Amino acid sequence: MAGTTPPPGCGNIGSDNYLLCDTNRAWGIVLESLAAAGVVTTVILMFSLLFLICKVQDNSKRNMIPVYFLFLLGTLGIFGLTFAFIINFNERTGPTRFFLFGVLFALCFSCLLTHSSNLIKLVRGKTPISCWVLLILATGFTLVQVIIAIEYIVIKTNHLNFTQMSRDQHNSDFVMLLIYVLFLLALTFLFSMFTFCGPHKGWKRSGAHIFFTALFSIAIWVVWITMLMGVLTMQDMWDDPTLSIALVSNGWVFLIMYIVPELCFLTSPSRPEDYPLENNFCQPKHIKQSSGMENRAYSQEEIMQEGNGDLAYSSYSPHFQLKTLDPQKDFSIPRPKARASPYQEYAGGKDTK
C-alpha cells in the first residue's frame, strides 16, 4: 500500500499510517472514530464508577466494583488496540497485536466469569465471594493468557520475524494463540446460564447481562474467525478490517450490554424480597442460645385457672396455692374507742348522811 504520493486526506506521515486518514478507504477513519468514542465513553464510565463507590450501600454489590473497574480497563485497552490494527502490520504493531489481543479479552472474560461465579452463590442464598477473592480470581484467569502470549512472542522473535510470516501462518497462529480465551468465553456463557437457577430473582438481572454479553461476543468471534481463516475466500486486504471491526463491535457490546446496565443496577434500590441476603451479612437476626436449662422465672406470666376459679397459679409466685378472698366480708381495721373511766361518777367529796 506504500506509495510516494500520500493519499487524499493524509499529509506528511509514514506510509504505515495512511489508513488513519485515507478518505478513499474510509473504513479506517470510521473505525478509529468509533474506537475514539469508545475510549471517551469508557473513561467517563470509570469516573462514574469511582463516584458510585460511596453511594452503594449493599455490600454484595459493592464487592463487585473493583471487578467492574478491572473490566473497564480491559475494555479501554480493546478500543485502544483498534488503532494497532488500522496501522499496517510491521515489527512494532505485530507483537502488540499478538500479545494484547488475547490478554485484553482474557481480562474482560475473566471478570465476567468471576462475576457469574459470584452470582451463582447469590441466587441460591449463599454467602457471596469476598472482594479480594474476586480480584484474585479475575487476575489469575488473565495471567494464564499472559504467560501463553509471552512464550509465543519469545519463541517467534527468536526464530522468525513477524513480518516474514505468511498470511496463512500469521492467521492460524493468531487463532491458535486465542484458544484459552475461547475457553474462557465458553465457560462464561455456561456459568451465566446457571445464574438463572435460584430462588432469589433480584440477582438474576446481572446474570442476564452476562448471558447476553457472552452470547453476542460468541457471535462476533465466530464471524471474525471464519472470515480470518479464509473460509469465505476473503483477500489478504480484509484481514485488518475484520479484526478492527471485531475489536470495536465487541468493545461496544461490553459497554452497552454489561457495564451500563450494571451501573444502573448498582444505583437501583434493593428490595427486601429480592435481596434477602443483604441483612443476613450486615445485621444479626437471632441471638444464639447458650447451653443449659432455660430460666422460666422471667418468661411471660401465665395464669392458670383451676376448678371454679377459687384457686390461681402464677409463674412469678412460689409454688403454693392461694385462696380467693371473699369480697362480702368486712376486713377493714376498726377504729380504737375510749374505754369508760371508773371515776366517771365520782363527785370529789365525802359522803354525808
| Residue 323 bridge partners (DSSP) | 311
Handedness of CA 211, 214, 216, 218 (dihedral sign): negative
Note the pLDDT tens digit of each residue in 171-189: 888 899 999 999 999 999 9
Q: Is residue 78 a contact partner of residue 253, using CB atoms and an 8 Å limit?
A: no
Contacts of 342 (CB under 8 A, 6+ apart): none
Residue 244: per-residue pLDDT: 93
98, three cell numbers: 499478538
Q: How many CB atoms lie within 10 A of CB 331?
A: 7
Contact between 270 and 58 (Cβ < 8 Å): yes
Full-prediction pTM beyond 0.85?
no
- The residues, any chain, with a CB within 8 Å of residue 40's CB and separated by 6 or more, are none
Give the model confidence (pLDDT) of 247-283 as tens digits. Answer: 999 999 999 999 999 998 888 776 555 555 444 443 3
Residues 130, 330: Cα–Cα separation, whole Å: 76
pLDDT for residue 293 is more than 60: no
Contacts of 276 (CB under 8 A, 6+ apart): 125, 200
The whole-angstrom separation of Cα 14 and Cα 20 is 11
Residue 1 and residue 205: Cα distance in Å, rounded?
49
* Count of other CB atoms within 10 angstroms of residue 172: 15
pLDDT in tens, 48-99: 999 888 888 788 888 899 999 999 999 999 999 999 999 888 888 888 898 9
pLDDT at residue number 160: 57
pLDDT at residue number 231 = 61
Return the number of other C-beta atoms located less than 10 Å from residue 11's C-beta: 6
Residues 6+ apart with CB under 8 A from 209: 257, 258, 261, 262, 265
Q: What's the residue count for the chain? A: 353
**What's the mean per-residue pLDDT of the chain?**
79
Residue 235 has pLDDT above 70, yes or no: no
- Quote the cell numbers at residue 66: 473493583
Residues 6+ apart with CB under 8 A from 321: 311, 312, 313
User: Residue 230 burial by CB count (10 A; 0-12/13-18/19+): exposed, middle or buried?
Assistant: middle
Confidence (pLDDT) at 197 = 85
In contact, 86 and 21? CB cutoff 8 Å: no
CATH number of the domain at 15-269, please? 1.20.1070.10
- Provide the grid cell at 313: 397459679
Residue ranges covered by each domain of the chain: 15-269
Cα within 13 Å of Cα(252), Cβ side: 14
* Secondary structure letter of residue 349 according to DSSP: S
d(CA 277, CA 202): 11
Residues 350 and 353: their CA atoms lie apart, in Å, by 10
Higher local confidence (pLDDT), 204 or 39: 39
